[in-house]
C-alpha cells in the first residue's frame, strides 16, 4: 500500500482500507502515522464541537487514539474504519462527560473562554481574506452565537447534529457510529435542528 | 395532503437532506408554495445549517499532534517487545510438558533403580556396593588332616547362611578329615544386590608341617 499520500487531506478509499487495516494490525509505524495524519483533525474537530472545549478535546483525542491502537486487532471490517474511529470517539466523549467536575468546569467557565478564543482566531483568519472588518466582526459574532446554541443542545441531539452538519456523515453512518437505528437518527436530527432554528432563526434570518 | 403546517415541518429535516420520498417531497413543495410561514421556517433552517457548515474546522495543535505520534510510537515499540516475548513463550511452551515429563521419568527411574540396588539393611551396615560378590572364607575349622604333597583343590557350594552345602574335589587326595573341616568351617555367603545368596568358591588347601 502506498502511504505516501497527503496525510492531512485525504481519507483512504474503501478498496485500500483493508490493506491499511492489515498494516495497522501488523503493527506498522508508517500505517499508524498515516492513520493519525488522516483522522486526527476530523476526530479532533468532532470532539471539539461536541465538547465545546479544545483542551478537553485534546485529552479525549489522546484517549481515542490509544483505544484505536489497542483495539485495531479486533477490528474486522464490520464497519468502515472512519465509522469505527468515530464510534470510539463518541464513546470516549461519553466517558469524559461522566465526571461531574469536568461537566461543571465545562458548563461554567471553559466554553466562554473557548468561544472568545475561537472567535478571535476566526476573526484573524478571515481578516486576511475580507476587506471589510465590520463583516468579519459580524461573521465572528454569528459563529459565536451558533457555537453557543450548539453547546446548549442536549448531548444526544448535539452529537447527531455535529455528525450530520459538520462532519457530513450519512444517516446510516451516524446510526453505526452511535449504535442507534436510522429512525432515531432522523428524529434526533429533526429535534436538534428545530431547537437550533428556534434559537437562531430570528438572529440569522 | 397534510392537515397542518406542523406535519410539513416534521418533514423539513428529511427534506433538506433529500431523504423524503418523491411523493412527500412533492407535497412539501406544494405546501411551501402557499404557506409563507413554513417557507420562512425552512429558510431559517437552511440558514442555520449554512452557519453550522461555516464553523471553523478545528485542527489538532502541533504540540498535541507531536505528542500523539510520540505516544503511539512508544506504545508500538513496547508492543513489539511484548510480541517478541509472546513468540518466544509460544515456541518454548509446547516443549515444556514433554521436557518436564522426561525429566520426571528420569528421576523416577533413577529413584527406583537406586532403591532396588541398595536396600536399607539395619543389621548389615556394611552393604557391599557391588551388585554381586562371591563367597569368602571367614574361618576354617582347625582340623588336622593330610592333604598330600600336591595339596587339595575344592569347588565348594556355600548357602545363604555361610554354610557348606556341598563340595567337589578338583585335584588331590580326599581324606576323612576333609568332610569334618567343611562341616564346621564358616564362610561369608555370596551376595546379589546386597542380599545373601548361594555361591561357589574354589579352595586350595595344603598342609604345612613345621619342624621344631
The Cα of B49 is separated from the nearest Cα of chain A by a number of Å equal to: 7
Asked whether residue A127 carries a pLDDT value surpassing 60, the answer given is no
B24 touches chain A (CB under 8 A): no
Q: Is residue B11 part of a domain?
A: yes
Average of per-residue pLDDT across B35-59: 89
CA–CA gap between residue B177 and residue B144 (Å, rounded): 7
Indicate yes or no: CB of A166 within 8 angstroms of CB of B10: no
Asked whether residue A9 carries a pLDDT value surpassing 50, the answer given is no
Average of per-residue pLDDT across A171-186: 92
Instruction: Give the confidence band of B120 by pLDDT, cuts at 50, 70, 90.
Output: low
Q: Is residue A93 part of a domain?
A: yes
Asked whether residue B65 carries a pLDDT value surpassing 50, the answer given is yes
Range of the domain at B159: 132-205
- The string of DSSP letters for A66-89 reads HHHHHHGGG--SSS-HHHHHHHHH
State the pLDDT at residue B184.
87
Considering only CB atoms, which chain B residues are within 8 Å of A166? 52-53, 55
Cell of A62: 489522546
Which of A8-12, A42-46, A99-103, A108-112 has the largest mean confidence? A42-46
Q: Is residue A154 part of a domain?
A: no
> Can you say whether the dihedral through the CA atoms of A204, B3, B7, B12 is positive or negative?
negative
Considering only CB atoms, which chain A residues are within 8 Å of B76? 27, 29, 32, 69
> Can you say whether the dihedral through the CA atoms of A175, A179, A181, A184 is positive or negative?
negative
B131-170 pLDDT, tens digit per residue, is 888 898 888 888 777 777 778 888 999 999 988 888 888 8
A148-172 pLDDT, tens digit per residue, is 999 999 989 999 999 999 988 999 9
CA–CA gap between residue A178 and residue A70 (Å, rounded): 20
> Can you say whether the dihedral through the CA atoms of B190, B191, B196, B197 is positive or negative?
negative
Q: Which of A91-105, B38-52, B93-107 has the lowest mean pLDDT?
A: A91-105
Instruction: Give the confidence band of A117 by pLDDT, cuts at 50, 70, 90.
Output: low
Q: Is residue B95 part of a domain?
A: yes
Q: Nearest CB to A40: which of B41, B60, B75?
A: B60
Residue labelled with grid coordinates 461543571: A104
State the pLDDT at residue A196.
92
Q: Is residue A47 part of a domain?
A: yes
For residues B136 and B85, membership in a common domain is answered with no
Other residues' Cβ atoms within 10 Å of the Cβ of residue A83: 18
Instruction: Give the confidence band of A3 by pLDDT, cuts at 50, 70, 90.
Output: very low
Q: Which of A136 and B47 is assigned the larger pLDDT?
A: B47
Asked whether residue A31 carries a pLDDT value surpassing 80, the answer given is yes
B17 touches chain A (CB under 8 A): yes
Number of structural domains in chain B? 3
Q: Is residue B211 part of a domain?
A: no
Q: Is residue B13 part of a domain?
A: yes
Would strands B186-188 and B190-192 be described as parallel, antiparallel, or unpaired? unpaired
- C-alpha pair distances (Å), B62 with each of A32, A67, A202, B146: 17, 21, 38, 122
Indicate yes or no: CB of B76 within 8 angstroms of CB of A65: no
Number of structural domains in chain A? 1
Q: Nearest CB to B58: which of A33, A44, A205?
A: A44
> Can you say whether the dihedral through the CA atoms of B24, B27, B32, B37 is positive or negative?
negative
Considering only CB atoms, which chain A residues are within 8 Å of B12? 190, 193
CA–CA gap between residue B73 and residue B86 (Å, rounded): 20
For residues B141 and B201, membership in a common domain is answered with yes
- The answer for B 35-74 residues in CB contact with A (under 8 A) is 40-41, 43-45, 47-49, 51-61, 64-65, 67-69, 71-73
| Ramachandran angles phi, psi of A132, nearest 5° | -85, 110
For residues B30 and B86, membership in a common domain is answered with no
Question: Residue A187's closest CA among A166, A153, A152, A161?
Answer: A161
Considering only CB atoms, which chain B residues are within 8 Å of A142? 51
State the pLDDT at residue A4.
43
Q: Is residue A72 part of a domain?
A: yes
Other residues' Cβ atoms within 10 Å of the Cβ of residue A167: 18
Closest alpha carbon within chain B to A125: B56
State the pLDDT at residue A111.
46
In chain A, pLDDT over 70 holds for what percent of residues?
76
The Cα of B23 is separated from the nearest Cα of chain A by a number of Å equal to: 18
Q: Is residue A86 part of a domain?
A: yes
Q: Is residue B127 part of a domain?
A: no
**CATH classification of the domain holding B161:** 3.30.2420
Q: Is residue A79 part of a domain?
A: yes
For residues B68 and B25, membership in a common domain is answered with no
Instruction: Give the confidence band of A30 by pLDDT, cuts at 50, 70, 90.
Output: confident
| Ramachandran angles phi, psi of B89, nearest 5° | -60, -40
Cell of A170: 450519512
The complex scores an ipTM of: 0.75
Q: Is residue B125 part of a domain?
A: no
For residues B50 and B83, membership in a common domain is answered with no
Considering only CB atoms, which chain A residues are within 8 Å of B52? 146, 150, 161, 165-166, 196
> In chain A, how long is the greatest CA-to-CA distance?
54
Considering only CB atoms, which chain B residues are within 8 Å of A204? 44, 47-48, 51
Q: Which of A160-174, B52-66, B121-135 has the lowest mean pLDDT?
A: B121-135
Other residues' Cβ atoms within 10 Å of the Cβ of residue B122: 5
State the pLDDT at residue B117.
65
Q: Is residue B174 part of a domain?
A: yes
Q: Nearest CB to A146: which of B55, B61, B64?
A: B55
State the pLDDT at residue A105.
57
**CATH classification of the domain holding A1:** 1.10.1740.10
Amino acid at each position: 500500500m502506498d502511504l505516501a499520500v497527503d496525510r492531512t487531506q485525504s481519507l483512504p478509499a474503501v478498496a485500500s482500507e483493508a490493506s491499511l487495516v492489515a498494516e495497522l494490525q501488523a503493527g506498522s509505524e508508517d500505517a499508524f502515522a498515516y492513520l493519525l495524519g488522516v483522522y486526527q483533525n476530523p476526530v479532533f474537530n468532532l470532539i471539539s464541537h461536541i465538547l465545546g472545549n479544545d483542551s478537553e478535546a485534546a485529552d479525549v483525542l489522546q484517549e481515542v487514539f490509544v483505544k484505536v491502537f489497542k483495539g485495531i486487532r479486533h477490528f474486522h471490517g464490520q464497519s468502515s474504519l472512519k465509522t469505527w474511529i468515530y464510534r470510539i470517539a463518541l464513546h470516549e466523549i461519553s466517558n469524559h462527560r461522566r465526571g461531574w467536575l469536568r461537566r461543571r468546569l465545562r458548563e461554567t467557565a471553559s466554553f466562554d473562554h473557548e468561544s472568545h478564543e475561537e472567535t478571535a482566531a476566526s476573526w484573524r483568519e478571515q481578516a486576511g481574506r475580507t476587506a471589510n472588518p465590520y463583516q468579519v466582526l459580524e461573521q465572528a459574532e454569528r459563529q459565536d452565537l451558533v457555537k453557543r446554541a450548539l453547546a446548549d443542545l442536549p448531548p444526544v441531539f448535539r452529537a447527531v447534529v455535529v455528525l450530520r452538519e459538520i462532519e457530513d456523515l450519512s444517516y446510516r453512518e451516524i446510526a453505526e457510529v452511535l449504535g442507534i437505528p436510522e429512525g432515531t437518527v432522523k428524529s434526533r436530527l429533526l429535534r436538534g435542528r428545530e431547537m437550533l432554528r428556534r434559537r437562531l432563526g430570528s438572529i440569522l434570518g | 395532503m397534510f392537515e397542518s403546517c406542523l406535519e410539513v415541518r416534521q418533514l423539513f429535516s428529511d427534506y433538506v437532506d433529500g431523504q423524503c420520498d418523491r411523493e412527500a417531497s412533492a407535497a412539501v413543495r406544494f405546501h411551501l408554495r402557499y404557506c409563507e410561514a413554513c417557507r420562512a421556517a425552512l429558510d431559517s433552517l437552511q440558514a442555520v445549517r449554512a452557519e453550522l457548515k461555516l464553523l471553523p474546522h478545528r485542527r489538532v495543535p502541533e504540540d498535541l499532534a507531536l505528542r500523539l505520534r510520540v505516544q503511539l510510537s512508544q506504545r508500538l515499540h513496547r508492543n513489539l517487545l511484548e510480541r517478541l516475548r509472546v513468540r518466544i513463550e509460544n515456541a518454548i511452551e509446547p516443549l515444556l510438558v514433554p521436557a518436564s515429563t522426561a525429566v520426571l521419568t528420569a528421576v523416577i527411574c533413577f529413584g527406583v533403580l537406586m532403591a532396588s540396588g541398595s536396600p536399607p539393611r539395619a543389621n548389615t551396615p556394611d552393604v557391599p556396593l557391588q551388585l554381586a560378590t562371591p563367597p569368602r572364607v571367614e574361618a576354617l575349622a582347625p582340623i588336622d588332616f593330610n592333604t598330600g604333597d600336591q595339596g587339595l583343590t575344592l569347588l565348594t557350594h556355600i548357602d545363604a547362611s555361610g554354610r557348606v552345602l556341598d563340595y567337589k574335589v578338583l585335584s588331590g587326595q580326599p581324606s576323612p578329615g576333609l568332610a569334618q573341616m567343611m562341616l564346621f568351617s564358616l564362610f561369608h555367603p555370596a551376595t546379589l544386590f546386597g542380599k545373601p545368596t548361594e555361591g561357589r568358591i574354589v579352595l586350595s588347601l595344603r598342609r604345612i608341617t613345621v619342624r621344631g
